Amino acid sequence: MKRALILLTGFTIFGGLCSAQDAATYSGWMKAVNPSVRAANAAIAAKDNAAVATEANKLAVIFDQVLGYWTTKKTDDAIKLATTARDAAKALAAATDSDYQTASLKTLQGTCGQCHSAHRESAGPGQFNIK
């Protein structure tokens, strides 16, 4: 009985640590999105297709990781939104027409608020928890 309690306690602590690391990693991905979106917007305005592709590829990697996160949690709506964002980022990376680039970036950005509304809760000023 004592051994089972020790094992259960160990698994609980390990699970809590992994969850905290997942949340911190996820938060890092989310904080990287806005700078890349701003840079992509500026590159579209400057008609700098190479810079657009660079930022779009960063976004595709981020949203591929986000997709993996939500896939492990089996959260269907977040999986769909992450897939849409990743695919829009890939389309943005391949695009050379500024109208198509702008549309792809808007598609990506359109997923953000939906996912935040469903899966983010306030934990104080400027602080959020994933739900």
The CA distance from 2 to 34, in Å, is: 50
* Cβ 37 vs Cβ 109: under 8 Å: yes
Do 70 and 30 meet the contact criterion of CB atoms below 8 Å apart?
A: no
- The answer as to whether 38 is a domain residue is yes
pLDDT digits (tens, 9 = 90+) for 6-29: 433 443 333 433 444 588 899 899
In a domain? residue 47:
yes
pLDDT at 21: 59
pLDDT in tens, 63-90: 999 999 999 999 999 999 999 999 999 9
In a domain, 10, yes or no: no
Structural domains of the chain, count: 1
Q: What is the pTM of this model?
A: 0.81
Domain CATH code at residue 37? 1.20.120.10
Tell me what percent of the residues of the chain surpass a pLDDT of 70. Answer: 84
Residue 109: which domain range? 22-130
100 assigned to some structural domain: yes
The DSSP string of 72-130 is HTT-HHHHHHHHHHHHHHHHHHH--SHHHHHHHHHHHHHHHHHHHHHHEEE-STT-EEE
Integer-rounded Cα Rg, in Å, for the chain is: 18
Any domain includes 91: yes
